[in-house]
Amino acid sequence: MSEKRGVRFEEAERCKGIILTSIALTTAGLGWLLRGSPTMMSAVATLGAYLLTGDRYQWIYLWKKTHKRDFLGLRVLLATMFRIWRWEKQGQSVVSRWAEIAKLYPEKKAFIMGDRALTFRQGEDFSNRIAWYFKRQGFKSGEVIALFMETQPEYIFVWLGLAKMKVTTALVNTNLRGQQLIHCLRIVGCKAVVFGDEMADAIKEIQSEIHDMPLFQFNSPERDGSTVLQDTVPLAAELEEMSSETFPIVPTNPRDTLLYIYTSGTTGFPKAAIITNIRFLLIPLGVFTSARLSPADVVYDPLPLHHTAGGVLGAGQAITQGCTVVLRRKFSASNYWSDAAKHGCTAAQYIGEICRYLLSVPAGPSDKAHKVKVIFGNGLRPQIWQEFVDRFGIGRVLEFYGATEGNSNLINLDNKVGAIGFLSRLVSSIYPLTLVRCDEITGEILRDDHGRCITCGPHEPGLLLGKIDPKKAILTFAGYADKTASEKKMVRNVRIEGDCYFNTGDILVMDHYGYFYFKDRTGDTFRWRGENVSTAEVEGVISNLVGLKDAIVYGVTIPNTEGKAGMAALADPDHNIDIAALSKGLKTSLPVYARPLFLRILPQTPLTATFKLKKKELMEVAYNVNVCKDPLYFLDQKLGEYVPLTQKMYEDIVLGNIRL
């Protein structure tokens, strides 16, 4: 029996022995009780034969190993689904939920940043002023206003105030400039822009091109005295004259659009994902329930508020659950644990490469001088998981999988190292996610003779799809402002004619126990020497070998050569990467086909706002010595070591004079 068809042989055989013993004892006991009744004895024998026929005893083994985890997952899922169902039946919106929370904890701190804090009452007052002010300016329900501001406590209450009058807020990434910024404002039809004074230069650059949009500049209390940009409204000063009287709640459908959040992506222009009221309520609730948090918990959220992780999942713990949330304007690895300790945080967030950055900071007394009992997020690499937990004394890691716009969510509830979540293999139909076969290079879904998608088995990489069911809030897909982009994310006729699934674009692997592991994004995998190479796996290995520095792996084309060769860009601002040691380490850690043929040493890492590694620009330059000014290395096939890539060597590679 191969490992891909069942549980590990030795474990299954142990299970078989246990079952045989149990059946023997049961048969003997029943035989004594039934005094040798032929009919009943035959029934018992038949049951024993049935359980041991084929692979059935393996399913009993799986139940034995996973039933506690599965019951926990079922409890979390049902609790979340029931509460969301109830909220939707009640017509609950984020505004109405906030009103309940603000009444429960008026004097409690809602958001803290540095030495400044806003209580729930102060947040309610501020949001009321925002609502009354923009109503007076003539803005109407259904219109869109952009919010272009760095993290601060008032950020949340600006969009919450606009939501009170059913104006949708577009949360614009503060890293955007020029045409990308204009694109984000235009694609959702923004009628105005609220921007922080720290964004004044970026707005000034495009001011002539967005002259049809009124501009409201908010001067943060931390930057008192900042200059107001010409032809803009000084919002902070204007708000002081507004009443904080409760703004009447406007009836809202839970499926109405609350926010637009732009997918950061690593290529092209951002897409505006639709965040409905019910989705905003769902995201923080799911983590709140899974992490077993309570309103007494203090959550550390050092992530940007214009993205889902920081602005919905993190900040939502205050807005919808009543927790205190500690913010930070910009993430700092060296201050992460000292911040958490200073504010008495009991839970903390991470995303992308943050955990690796935390490990790269020299060990110090603040590593365990905190009260954090659970840390939640996504992107903790399996290679550093255990080291991270041990060094920082983390009781529970709640790694999850999900996308801003997607309906395919997984969560790791039992600290399984490396897993991004699980599905019960015994009752997998409860939550309709599926892995289907695809071309790992192009992402094209493979289908059988009947035109249906082919389901993957254990240890078989596949594309994750999530069934779209508009009737269930937890399975809906609201899509993007661009309907064409929404349609591209849907896959139809997956299992039966007419069904529809959300395409995550991610390739995952499921083991025999139902745990899922991230493998790659479609398109990030490349083929070399007849083998598929996972960039994520190679990045993890290289990062460990170079002291947890950033490593970006991608495939590059070589003229007249089949497939793509591996190339790794390494961030080395301190100039201390030992190329010879790296070469030696790769020999023992990776198969020949997965070892990068080229290396590029970067002075700094190109990152998205959510700490994901950018690849597009690096792939375009590739190993061209005439364009790239950074140090380049080539894996000499005879020496088996990396050597500096010279002009002559580059030309020989392009002309095919160097045998690969």
Does residue 284 carry a pLDDT above 70?
A: yes
- Of residues 457 and 10, more confidence is placed in 457
Q: pLDDT by residue (tens digit) across 395-421? A: 999 999 988 888 889 999 999 999 999
Highest mean pLDDT among 108-117, 229-238, 526-535: 108-117
Does residue 447 carry a pLDDT above 50?
A: yes
Residue 115 exposed, middle or buried by CB count within 10 Å (0-12, 13-18, 19+): exposed
Q: How confident is the model at residue 17 (pLDDT cuts 50, 70, 90)?
A: low
Question: How many residues in the chain?
Answer: 660
Question: Which amino acid belongs to residue 560?
Answer: N
Q: How confident is the model at residue 248 (pLDDT cuts 50, 70, 90)?
A: very high
Quote the pLDDT of residue 659. Answer: 77
Quote the pLDDT of residue 396. Answer: 95
Token readout for 647 is 């002009």
Quote the pLDDT of residue 93. Answer: 97
Q: How confident is the model at residue 32 (pLDDT cuts 50, 70, 90)?
A: very low
Quote the pLDDT of residue 273. Answer: 94
- Name the CA radius of gyration of the chain, rounded: 28
What lies within 8 Å, CB to CB, of 204 at 6+ separation is 229
Of the listed ranges 215-219, 388-392, 488-492, 557-561, the least confidently predicted one is 557-561
Beta carbons of 161 and 126 less than 8 angstroms apart: yes
Rounded CA separation 208/204 (Å): 8
Given its phi and psi angles, is residue 505 left (phi above 0), alpha (psi -120 to 50 degrees) or beta? left
Question: Which amino acid belongs to residue 425?
Answer: R
Q: Look at residue 426 and give its three-state secondary structure.
A: coil
Taking the CB of residue 186, how many other CB atoms lie within 10 A of it? 12
Of 249, 276, 248, 272, which Cα lies nearest the Cα of 261? 272
Quote the pLDDT of residue 310. Answer: 95
Residue 234 exposed, middle or buried by CB count within 10 Å (0-12, 13-18, 19+): middle
Does residue 604 carry a pLDDT above 70?
A: yes
Quote the pLDDT of residue 560. Answer: 78
Rounded CA separation 349/200 (Å): 29
Q: How confident is the model at residue 86 (pLDDT cuts 50, 70, 90)?
A: very high
Taking the CB of residue 488, how many other CB atoms lie within 10 A of it? 13
In the chain, % of residues over pLDDT 90: 64
Quote the pLDDT of residue 439. Answer: 86
In DSSP notation, 281-328 reads HHHHHHHHHHTT--TT-EEEE-S-TTSHIIIIIITHHHHTT--EEEE-
Does residue 228 carry a pLDDT above 90?
A: no
Of the listed ranges 216-225, 538-547, 616-625, the least confidently predicted one is 216-225
Q: How confident is the model at residue 264 (pLDDT cuts 50, 70, 90)?
A: low
Residue 296 exposed, middle or buried by CB count within 10 Å (0-12, 13-18, 19+): exposed
What lies within 8 Å, CB to CB, of 341 at 6+ separation is 366, 369, 370, 371
Quote the pLDDT of residue 33. Answer: 46
At residue 546's C-alpha, the angle toward residues 544 and 550, to 5°, is 80
Segment 445-458 shows an average pLDDT of 95
Does residue 89 carry a pLDDT above 70?
A: yes
Of the listed ranges 37-41, 461-465, 506-510, 516-520, the least confidently predicted one is 37-41
Of 308, 303, 354, 307, which Cα lies nearest the Cα of 325? 303
Rounded CA separation 111/98 (Å): 14
Q: How confident is the model at residue 658 (pLDDT cuts 50, 70, 90)?
A: confident
Tell me the average pLDDT of the chain: 87
In DSSP notation, 6-43 reads SS-HHHHHHHHHHHHHHHHHHHHHHHHHHTT-HHHHHH
Token readout for 100 is 């309940």
In DSSP notation, 319-384 reads HTT--EEEE-SS--TTTHHHHHHHTT-SEEEEETTHHHHHHHSPP-GGGS-S---EEEEE---GGG
Of 57, 27, 49, 161, which Cα lies nearest the Cα of 102? 161
Q: Write the secondary structure of 495-513 as one string of H (helix), E (strand) and C (coil).
A: CCCCCEEEEEEEEEEECCC
Quote the pLDDT of residue 540. Answer: 86
Q: How confident is the model at residue 30 (pLDDT cuts 50, 70, 90)?
A: very low
Rounded CA separation 513/426 (Å): 10
- In the block, residue with structure tokens 């926010």: 259
Segment 387-398 shows an average pLDDT of 95
Segment 476-498 shows an average pLDDT of 92
Quote the pLDDT of residue 263. Answer: 82
Does residue 613 carry a pLDDT above 80?
A: no
Q: pLDDT by residue (tens digit) across 142-190? A: 999 999 999 999 999 999 999 999 999 999 989 888 888 999 999 999 9
- Tell me which DSSP letter residue 451 carries: S
Quote the pLDDT of residue 309. Answer: 93
